[in-house]
Amino acid sequence: YTILSKVHSDRNVYPSAGVLFVHVLEREYFKGEFPPYPKPGEISNDPITFNTNLMGYPDRPGWLRYIQRTPYSDGVLYGSPTIENVGKPTIIEITAYNRRTFETARHNLIINIMSAEDFPLPYQAEFFIRNMNVEEMLASEVLGDFLGAVKNVWQPERLNAINITSALDRGGRVPLPINDMKEGVYVMVGADVPFSSCLREVENPQNQLRCSQEMEPLITCDKKFRTQFHIDWCKISLVDNTKQVSTFQEVIRGEGILPDGGEYKPPSDTLKSRDYYSDFLITLAVPSAIALVLFLILAYIMCCRREGVEKRNMQTPDIQLVHHSAIQKSTKELRDMSKNREIAWPLSTLPVFHPVTGEIVPPLHTDNYDNTSMPLMQTQQ
């Protein structure tokens, strides 16, 4: 196959900081860049996957996520831009891979983040929806239905989806492939009015007790979500940014806290040289001298204070010395006797009668014959 690369024209989008951004990578948009299906008359349904990265970098920005379940589904870029990225165009390189022909098509997505006048919304609530996956929740009609249900129970003037996060990104487990189980998704929304009494019901002591016992809390407005969204009310999070808690504490200077010395002033380049000879003597010479003295004391004890054999004999009883001397003398005699053995040759090993005539055979050697080096068994002639 011939691998080609085609480049689309750049595409500009203008999301707002603090508001959920969703961009769908449609497979139909890239099918026209790939050759037609080999069999005429059949609809092309090539498997296409996407790779997204920040221009000049191997990955995307930290606030931007990407998901595509299968090569036959569309890819989705989503995330919540931050205020630090306002005014800085973010160029995302999108590369589409055709898994049938191994061709690629590429274009750039330029994200121009705008500042929102009502950013950030002071009241933020995060819901955990158990019966949804993140790509299902990112669909415009599903997200619109959820925001409509939230607006019905909250009654705000302005309501925006701030962020959507998969439960897997929060440490959740992959569900078993049975009964069409879902991963779950966290949806954060923001409004400009305080939380309604329905959302505050989660903070009741009775509901907190039920949550600690892993029971469903009693929420009056749950029926407005239950038809389409199964919300885990024990995991709802309510954040009120209007109550700014002062984290400033008076610092009491003491141990571990340096006094304020003003601006840092580095040392001058004209530093005086320092003589380290005395430090060298203290570090090496003194330990070496102590080690030498200890060595001499040990040598005197081991070599010059030996008692010797004479002092040992003087402190040993005479009877013990006699016994020891007798043992040594007997041992020496036995060794000398083993070296000069002169015993007669065993008669049982000598032939007595001639094997043919039956006459008495004389000995093979004389009496003064040195038979110490002869074997005990003689070969019969």
The answer to whether 118 and 158 are in contact (CB under 8 A) is yes
In the sheet with 237-240, reading across from the earlier edge strand, the strands are 159-166, 185-191, 123-129, 237-240
| 150 φ, ψ (degrees, to nearest 5) | -65, -40
As to burial, measured by CB atoms within 10 angstroms (0-12 exposed, 13-18 middle, 19+ buried), residue 74 is: middle
374 CB neighbour count, 10 Å cutoff? 13
Alpha carbons within 13 angstroms on the beta-carbon side of residue 282 total: 4
Instruction: Name the least confident of 8-12, 112-116, 228-232, 258-262.
Output: 258-262
Q: What is the pLDDT of residues 77-111, one digit of tens each?
A: 999 888 888 888 889 999 999 888 888 888 899 99
pLDDT at 38: 65
Q: Strands 90-98, 48-54: parallel, antiparallel or unpaired by DSSP?
A: antiparallel
What percentage of the chain carries pLDDT values higher than 90?
Answer: 15
373 vs 235, residue with greater confidence: 235
Q: What is the pLDDT of residues 173-227, one digit of tens each?
A: 888 777 778 889 999 998 888 888 888 888 888 988 988 888 888 888 888 888 8
Beta-bridge mates of residue 5: 104
Domain-wise residue ranges, the chain = 9-111, 121-238
* Residue 269 pLDDT level (bands cut at 50, 70, 90): confident
3.80.10, 3.90.1690, 3.30.70, 3.30.420: CATH of 121-238: 3.30.70
Distance, CA of 22 to CA of 15 (rounded, Å): 9
Task: Judge whether residue 278 has pLDDT over 80.
Answer: yes
What does the pLDDT average to over 2-25? 72
| Per-chain mean pLDDT for the chain | 80
**Which pair of structure tokens corresponds to residue 292?**
């030498």
Does CATH place domain 9-111 in 2.60.40.10? yes
What percentage of the chain carries pLDDT values higher than 70?
Answer: 78
Q: What is the DSSP string of 272-315?
A: PP---HHHHIIIIIHHHHHHHHHHHHHHIIIIIT--HHHHHHHT
Task: Judge whether residue 380 has pLDDT over 70.
Answer: no
* pTM of structure: 0.59
Q: What is the pLDDT of residues 294-326, one digit of tens each?
A: 999 999 888 877 666 777 778 788 888 888 889
**Which pair of structure tokens corresponds to residue 187?**
């949806």
Distance, CA of 268 to CA of 266 (rounded, Å): 6
